[in-house]
Amino acid sequence: MNKYKLAKNACYLSGVTMSVSANLSPLLFLTFRDMYLLSYTSLGFLVVINFLAQWLVDLVFTFFTRFFNIHKTVKATPLIVWIGLLLYAVLPRVFPDMAFLWIVTGTVIFSTASGLSEVLLSPVITGIPSENPEREMSKLHSMYAWGVVGVVIVSTLFLAAFGSENWTYLALLWSIIPFIAFLMFLKAELPEMDNFGGTQKCTRIFNKGTILCLLCIFFGGAAECTMSQWASGFIENAIGVPKVYGDVIGVALFAALLGLGRTLYSRYGKRIVNILFYGMLGACVCYLVAGLSLNPVAGIMACALTGMFTSMLWPGTLIYVEENFENVGVAVYALMAAGGDLGASLAPQLLGIISDKFKTTDFALRGSDMFNISAEQVSMRAGLLVAGVFPVLGVLCVLCMKKHFKKHGRIWLN
């Protein structure tokens, strides 16, 4: 196993790279709004682009994995992230009149690479001999969460110290991480990975069990990523806490609890189906409290605690797939990633659309007068409450999954 140590560390660093790709733009939402006069819908579109690009990669690998050299693709992925971040950082400064176009262009490139990482890192880790591959999977996903903590804290302090107008240099700073991961992969030896899981055919991976797991990771991705993508803007605008405090206390604490939950499972975890159920249920409560409470402390803590409750929803679904299916290959991981990315793209965009649409409605104006807050704060809270429907549906989905696999047992995908 020592011969794969560099490969494992490169995967962990790539997990941190994914946290940069997914969370840098949300931390810059209000900067982009002020500098480039973007609407909330446009800002939400950046989230959609991020996860839609990943989703398309997931679909490609679900059906066409056989056409790729998996080892070469894994090693090239962090280089593509690095190129995307460079374009994302430099071109808006060079062409400020077309800043949004270049931000979108860079986002598409590094998001596509992140999609590759999402699909391929899990089978790399499971391909490395280990006494407990489930806990290694949880550890991989915890690196993403701890990466979010670093991204939030460093980015917040950087913007506070040097000003939001210098966000370009922040993006260039973060581009160093994928470049280091690329150099590590160049020297790393990767394990053999089965593209399809033996004799498995793409058309046979769709059954009631995989569809239920697909829905579970969809709802889990929606519950996790809506809060992670919008917590910064929500705490500042809807709760009224200054950005530097809101990001460090709220967003960073969300990410820390996300990482803590995954780290604890990697050490002590068992009975993942129960963790999925209580995670979805706890997320429901957090969304409800964050959307309705007028107490700033309660609102921030609800945002943060969502990190703990959603920590195992995405990786936990993958672990559940490993437990209940035989012959799992890259195509199945890609299918699950597609479900998670779809939820992670649609739910945050839905919040952005609702926030924009509700601002001028009678509902927002009446709420503003009733609770002595602005119409914009009312509309953002309404958006968050609507997004809270996803973990509610997730609770029902987990119950259906538990009943299905109790009846049918472990399923072969061939």
DSSP string, 388-404: THHHHHHHHHHHHHHHH
- Token pair, residue 217, equals 């990771």
CB 228 within 8 A of CB 27: no
For tokens 């670093």, name the residue.
Answer: 150
pLDDT at 147 over 50: yes
Query: pLDDT band at 179, cuts 50/70/90?
Result: very high
Tally the C-alpha atoms within 13 A of residue 139's C-alpha that lie toward its C-beta.
16
Domain locations in the chain as residue ranges: 2-412
CB 307 within 8 A of CB 231: no
Mean pLDDT calculated for residue range 323-328: 79
Average pLDDT across the chain, whole number: 86
pLDDT at 91 over 60: yes
Lowest-pLDDT choice from 15-24, 163-172, 278-287, 305-314 = 15-24
- Residue 326 pairs in a beta bridge with 412
Nearest-angstrom CA–CA distance, 339 and 334? 9
Most confident of 17-26, 43-52, 299-308: 299-308
CB 412 within 8 A of CB 327: yes
The CB density around residue 393, as the number of other CB atoms within 10 Å, is: 17
Mean pLDDT calculated for residue range 154-171: 91
pTM: 0.78
Say whether domain 2-412 belongs to CATH 3.10.310.70: no
Query: pLDDT band at 196, cuts 50/70/90?
Result: very low
